Structure 1
Amino acid sequence: MYKTQRESSEFLQKFMSELEPTPEQRDIILCAPFTALDVMSKSLHNSRVQLGAQNIHWAEEGAYTGEISGLMLTEIGVRYVIVGHSERRQYFGETDETVNQRLLAAQRHGLTPILCVGETKQQRDTGETESIICNQLSKDLVNVDQENLIVAYEPIWAIGTGDTCEESEANRVIGLIRSQLKVSDVPIQYGGSVKPNNIDAIMAQPEIDGVLVGGASLEPASFARIVNYQ
């Protein structure tokens, strides 16, 4: 929940000027607040940068105050949407069942969902990481088309806590996630204190296809350095 429309436009102008040529297969997606999506969509028209939203409701319309539908998102050029982010699960009561409904709604509208899974510090400390991740995936992905999907592993204990998930451990868990999927080439990202000073080590890991960036994406030069990794 950062950046007004004006701030988003200023961010975009600076960010785009910092981008370097990258391989064609490298996707760049900005998941902006709902109020900024329209102005950013206009600025990103015919750009190499794609637009994503931070959530979606499962209904086409209805008495769901504060929610947003797939129709509303696709009308303004959104192509991706984050589903099941840890903050949605932690603060707003998201369950695996509602996450599944949101995933299905995204795909009905031709959006590519970015499914977030991850464990808390307590769950990790009690040795539940593998079971938690596998349980989330089994419930979240019921009837979901894995040909149109991105998965992000975000260890909740490594987000804004000062604790760091070692690159090799992130790689191990992402390998576990891949083993649970029916489609082997689903892009799997790592998210959790991704910064300019660790992006190269993260992306050197063989199982990690990309990153889901939080706080480091708010500053144009910082985020551009991450996108421009070699």
Structure 2
Amino acid sequence: MTDASSFASPSAPSSALPDRLIGISLKMYMSHAQTVDWAHRVTELTYAHPAIASGTAGLVLLPQFPSIPACLDVPGPLQIGAQNLSAEDAGAWTGEVSGAVLAEIGCRFVEVGHAERRRHFHETDDIVRAKTAAALRHGLFPILCVGESAAGSPESAAAEVVTQIRSALPATAGDLPPEGGVVIAYEPIWAIGAQQPAAPDHIIAVCEAVRARTRIHFPSLDFRLIYGGSAGPGLLTRLGPTVDGLFLGRFAHDPDSVPRILDELADVIMLKS
């Protein structure tokens, strides 16, 4: 293995979101050692990729909490985030993790509102709203997971997704931090863990409607719209410039798949330009 420490560390990141973004949540699939090995391997494969080296695309890794410091120590393109945070900043909240501490140690992103958190841990709209506010309060970019519960028309899906976005974000633009940004991860709940993602035509129609309506409701919001839900290699080529990237799960467990997806992203960027 090439020594990742020989790679030049990127300069201090700006407060702005990258134009394109590939997010990867490892959930609870890998051990600590496997996670760190994965981070080193992906760094080797992607640090010189044109989409990354140019600063056009960001590569975001969300490992388990104990692995975050070790992943932060891997020099290279990976921007590190967490899979969850507390709505509270400090106090007697046993087992919780503060957004203030995540920001303090160097995290830039945090996942909020994933369907698994809603289903298994009974997170409500109110909790998602409070966690999103906590992330923004501490300068973290929330990766806000939204998606319809059952397969249906793009129109009904977009309406449900926009309702979730409006519920999670502050009611007025003045309540948003001036340098805050949000990553909206469209993940149809029925497609999470499925063999195939939602049909490209469905994703495109929903994302076009969601982007337009989000701009109407939050005209000053800096946001990126990415797709998750069994996303993997080959999908970006079919979606084109409709989305700003992908949110990957199990299809990114093989490090070799990440540069392939970055190749697709680079092609999409050229198409849009």
Q: TM-score, normalised by structure 1?
A: 0.89
Q: 1:148 aligns with which of 178, 181, 187?
A: 181
Q: Relative contact order (C-alpha < 8 Å, sep 6+): which is higher? A: 2
Return the offset for 1:163.
Answer: 4.7
Q: 1:188 aligns with which of 225, 230, 240?
A: 225
SS in 2 for 1:220: coil
**Which one is further off, 58-67 or 189-198?**
58-67
Return the offset for 1:16.
Answer: 1.4
Aligned length: 225
SS in 2 for 1:27: strand
Q: 1:217 aligns with which of 242, 248, 252?
A: 252
Q: TM-score, normalised by structure 2?
A: 0.76
Structure 1, unpaired ranges of 5+ = none
The aligned amino acid for 1:134 is V
**Cα distance in 1, alignment partners of residues 242 and 140 from structure 2:** 24
Q: Which residue of 1 aligns with 2:23?
A: none
Structure 2, unpaired ranges of 5+ = 1-27, 268-273
Residue deviations 1:73-129, cap 9 Å, x none?
11221001111111111211111111110111011111111111001226x37x842
For the 8 Å contact 1:57–1:102, the answer to whether it is kept is: yes
For the 8 Å contact 2:182–2:222, the answer to whether it is kept is: no
**Cα distance in 2, alignment partners of residues 115 and 36 from structure 1:** 22
**Cα distance in 2, alignment partners of residues 194 and 9 from structure 1:** 23
Q: Which residue of 2 aligns with 1:37?
A: 68
SS in 1 for 2:92: coil
**Which one is further off, 47-56 or 192-201?**
192-201
**Cα distance in 1, alignment partners of residues 70 and 121 from structure 2:** 27
Q: Which residue of 2 aligns with 1:72?
A: 101
RMSD: 2.1
For the 8 Å contact 2:181–2:222, the answer to whether it is kept is: no
**Cα distance in 2, alignment partners of residues 227 and 76 from structure 1:** 27
Runs of 4+ residues deviating >4 angstroms: none
Return the offset for 1:185.
Answer: 5.5
**Cα distance in 2, alignment partners of residues 48 and 17 from structure 1:** 10
